[in-house]
Amino acid sequence: MALNVRANVVDIRTDTPSDQDSFLVDTNAWYWLHYPKASQEARQYQTNDYPNFLKLCLSANTQLFCSPLSFSELAHNIEAAERKIYAFNANRNIEPKDFRRNYPNQHRRVTNLIEGIWLDVTDMSQVMPINLDEAFVTASVKKFGTVQLDGYDLFMAERAVDFGVLNVITDDADYCTYPGITVFTANQTAIRAAAQARRLVTR
């Protein structure tokens, strides 16, 4: 299915952030910046372009935000990656719950790694508060069928807009379907679709 691009899109490879900008940073960008083994499974542009842009943001004193929901995604993704690496090296099939229960030393190591990475994230950014009350969830459910985001990302986008942060740094092209925001990305699918929809902008 083609992307229904309703957001503005900026190519981060040609953009220069400033101290007037504010961004919500999606989980994938944090992962590629802070997880040391991300390059083993990511594409080269992901582990180059997003860390480079975030470092430009830091140099420019740009205001960065993270979502509390990113912790659960980061924890899940890092634990899954570490489990697969350990299982491969041990030549074993290890399920997620078995990894937590039966390999206490590995579980402790991974837990410490995740805690350290989350500290790195919160050192660089402000945690955007989120209240998943009935009104918020009801509004999100109503929008769910109008965009191509999953539940996690829809919550993040909804909260960012409510909070007044309309710029999102992400590799997830589906954010382009959310109206009223500007997606800062290096994802070529998103960039091509935005160009065709005349939504690709240069600042």
Residues 6+ apart with CB under 8 A from 23: 17, 57, 62, 63, 64, 65, 165, 167, 168, 169, 184
Q: Establish if 155 belongs to a structural domain.
A: yes
As a whole number of angstroms, the distance between CA 145 and CA 122 comes to: 32
Q: Bridge-partner residues for 83, per DSSP? A: none
Distance, in Å, from the CA atom of 25 to the CA atom of 79, rounded to the nearest integer, reads 21
Dig out the tokens for 201 from the structure: 């902008």
Count of structural domains, the chain: 1
Q: Is residue 169 part of a domain?
A: yes
CATH number at residue 54: 3.40.50
- pLDDT value at residue 21: 98
User: Does the residue 93 lie in any domain?
Assistant: no
Helical H runs in 60-166?
Answer: 69-90, 96-102, 104-124, 134-144, 151-163
> Could you tell me if residue 131 is inside a domain?
yes
Supply φ then ψ for residue 20, to 5 degrees.
-90, -10
- Please report the pLDDT score of residue 54 as a whole number: 98
Please tell me whether the overall predicted TM-score, pTM, comes out greater than 0.85 for this model. yes
Position 96 in a domain: no
Q: Is residue 117 part of a domain?
A: no
Q: Token pair for residue 138?
A: 């009801």
Ranges of the chain whose pLDDT falls below 50: none
Tell me what pLDDT residue 64 has.
Answer: 98
In-domain check, residue 103: no
In a domain, 201, yes or no: no
Q: Tokens at residue 175, please? A: 């954010």
What's the pLDDT at 149? 85
Domain that holds residue 178: 8-68+126-196
